[in-house]
């Protein structure tokens, strides 16, 4: 293998180095980048965006394939800006670089059973509604996304309910999960009405006039067979500050992005993100901003809520359960660190059964680019673990 630094520092030596390389290197004009050095298995599993190319860590990573890299490396030398790696690292969430030994990160999955004392759901039993609220999917639309950079699509479902006047959402990845209330016929509606509100099969296209496909044969969400493992589900509460205005006080935006990435991965089987409009753990945006000021005065996130005479967590999940039932989902794999959420989502009569809990480990703890690193988010996560019982170790690594 040619020496990385000497090759880059002396372009005129590229031709001469071919005596030591099995491949014949053509003489390229100076505006071309030199031939990429084959990447070892060690470095192929690193994110090259996170490496400084003039640091000694590069030479150490390449040490398994060339011992001379350690001997000849000059820490003060830098490679030309045109030098390109053997592959282009991903810059869009959800994409990955093909390699023989590269795989996307799959979080840990832990079997849970809320009926057992030690079933992995914590010791507290959240108060559940006596009955699930009534929900109705009003409209569904196909949304092409930027996730993965390859045109991943999802279906956005908008729900109304009997408990409040808010518009809660179900973000559905995949074509197999459908809303029963959306598909149900409505009095006096035409085929065009059904197409407009999203009660159709397949895809819309100019000139389409019927909501069913010719080969559908009356198949519905009630009798459609579900195959494979239970779908991934994330119950996510609205967080304007974390999702829209780049707040580093919490990891809500990061968790939403990660859930979407996992559900859009090839072979994932899709999944559902239930997006509930209960800002600030149920206290609203205005009270949440007051809580932020109290945090700056030295209180943690739980103490701040209590000082404002709110519960530490005022959220409820009955709507999420009812929406999942409407979507025809029974067994799920739940993306959460919150043991209370496992029991609460299952509903008063276990209408939903959580088979596995999939941990949501912060990207910064996994050494990933893009993870939130701040004093505020560190204290926030510490409080959730110590005071709210979240199942996450501060030293946990995946």
Q: What are the beta bridge partners of residue 156?
A: 141, 171
Residue matched to tokens 């035409």:
190
CA distance linking residue 354 with residue 314, whole number of Å:
22
Cβ within 8 Å of residue 10, ≥6 positions away = none
Active site residue 313: yes
- H/E stretch holding 358: strand 353-358
Show the tokens assigned to 84: 């390109």
CA distance linking residue 335 with residue 233, whole number of Å:
6
- Look up residue 199 and give its DSSP letter: -
Show the tokens assigned to 215: 């080969």
**117 within 8 A of 156, measured Cβ to Cβ:** no
- The single residue of 3, 183, 313, 326 carrying the catalytic annotation is 313
Show the tokens assigned to 121: 């759901």
Residue matched to tokens 């980048």:
33
CA distance linking residue 265 with residue 10, whole number of Å:
43
- The single residue of 315, 333, 343, 357 carrying the catalytic annotation is 315
CA distance linking residue 76 with residue 245, whole number of Å:
40
The alpha carbons of the chain give a radius of gyration, in whole angstroms, of 26
H-only helix segments in the chain: 4-9, 13-16, 41-44, 56-61, 68-72, 180-183, 191-196, 240-243, 252-264, 279-282, 285-296, 301-307, 318-326, 339-346, 375-388
Dihedral pair phi/psi, residue 140, rounded to 5°: -135, 140
**161 within 8 A of 276, measured Cβ to Cβ:** no
Q: How far is CA 195 from the centre of its chain?
A: 30
- H/E stretch holding 171: strand 168-173
Residues designated as active site: 313, 315
């Amino acid at each position: 293998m040619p020496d990385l630094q000497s090759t880059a520092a002396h372009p005129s030596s590229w031709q001469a180095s071919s005596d030591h390389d099995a491949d014949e290197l053509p003489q390229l004009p100076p505006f071309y980048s030199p031939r990429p050095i084959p990447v070892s298995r060690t470095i192929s599993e690193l994110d090259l965006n996170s490496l400084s190319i003039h640091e000694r860590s590069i030479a150490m990573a390449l040490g398994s394939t060339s011992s001379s890299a350690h001997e000849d490396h000059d820490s003060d030398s830098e490679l030309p800006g045109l030098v390109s790696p053997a592959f282009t690292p991903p810059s869009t969430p959800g994409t990955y670089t093909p390699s023989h030994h590269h795989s996307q990160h799959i979080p840990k999955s832990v079997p849970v059973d809320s009926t057992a004392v030690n079933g992995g759901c914590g010791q507290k039993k959240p108060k559940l509604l006596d009955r699930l609220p009534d929900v109705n999917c009003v409209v569904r639309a196909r949304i092409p996304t930027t996730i993965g950079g390859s045109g991943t699509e999802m279906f956005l479902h908008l729900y109304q309910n009997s408990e409040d006047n808010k518009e809660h959402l179900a973000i559905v990845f995949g074509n197999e999960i459908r809303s029963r209330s959306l598909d149900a016929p409505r009095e006096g509606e035409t085929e065009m009405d059904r197409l407009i509100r999203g009660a159709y099969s397949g895809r819309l296209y100019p000139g389409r006039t019927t909501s069913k496909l010719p080969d559908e044969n009356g198949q519905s969400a009630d009798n459609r067979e579900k195959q494979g493992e239970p779908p991934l589900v994330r119950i996510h509460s609205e967080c304007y500050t974390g999702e829209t205005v780049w707040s580093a006080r919490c990891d809500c935006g990061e968790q939403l992005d990660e859930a979407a990435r996992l559900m859009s991965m090839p072979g994932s089987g899709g999944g559902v993100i239930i997006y509930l409009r209960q800002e600030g753990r149920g206290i609203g945006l205005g009270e949440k901003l007051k809580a932020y000021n109290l945090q700056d005065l030295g209180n943690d996130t739980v103490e701040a809520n209590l000082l404002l005479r709110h519960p530490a967590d005022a959220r409820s999940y009955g709507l999420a359960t009812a929406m999942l039932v409407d979507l025809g989902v029974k067994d799920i794999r739940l993306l959460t660190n919150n043991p209370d959420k496992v029991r609460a989502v299952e509903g008063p009569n276990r209408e939903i059964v959580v088979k596995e809990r999939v941990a949501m480990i912060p990207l910064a703890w996994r050494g990933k680019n893009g993870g939130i690193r701040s004093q505020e988010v560190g204290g926030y996560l510490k409080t959730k673990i110590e005071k709210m019982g979240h199942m996450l170790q501060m030293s946990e690594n995946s």
